[in-house]
Amino acid sequence: MLTPAPDTRTAPRATYLVKRLELAVRGEIESLMRPLGLTTHQYTALSVLARHPGLSSAQLARRAFISPQAANEIVSMMERKGLVVRDADPRNRRILRMSLTDAGEVALREGDKLVDELEDRMFARLRHAEVEMFRSTLEMCLNAFTGADYH
């Protein structure tokens, strides 16, 4: 006996669920980062810079999914807080390359611990293989739009 296909008229769209999850996660991360003196965007920027040191502000904007103007504001604030430094690119002095300071690395480690706990809570009802499948599926969906690999 075949199982009937899900009724797409009553099941929520995947895009709707993704957006709801994104909003819920963003709100949780914002709350978690507040005591550290960070915003969600600043935490994301620190995470991206830790994985890809030496990015320019424009490159950071693309990887962090924010506008170049927002990236400039975020970077300026993080620089004032002593979380990042910018140095001129030796081949093109107009391009400023960023890296984390020791304080930025500490802030990121503290934020990562909190986000690890959040993800533990979020994935508590899933098996490890399901979490990995979820992560892989999300990466494939992102790749379908951007062509970029986010590893």
Whether residue 81 contacts residue 46, with contact meaning beta carbons closer than 8 Å, is answered with no
In a domain, 21, yes or no: no
Query: Tens of pLDDT along 81-102?
Result: 999 999 998 898 888 999 999 9
In a domain, 11, yes or no: no
Query: Tens of pLDDT along 12-28?
Result: 999 999 999 999 999 99
* Domain region containing 50: 32-145
Residue 57 to residue 63: CA distance in whole angstroms: 10
In a domain, 131, yes or no: yes
**CATH no. for residue 69?**
1.10.10.10
Total domains, the chain: 1
In a domain, 135, yes or no: yes
Q: Is the pLDDT of residue 150 over 70?
A: no
**Four-point Cα dihedral 45, 37, 108, 70, nearest 10:** 0
Q: What is the pTM of this model?
A: 0.83
| Of 48 and 148, the one with more pLDDT | 48
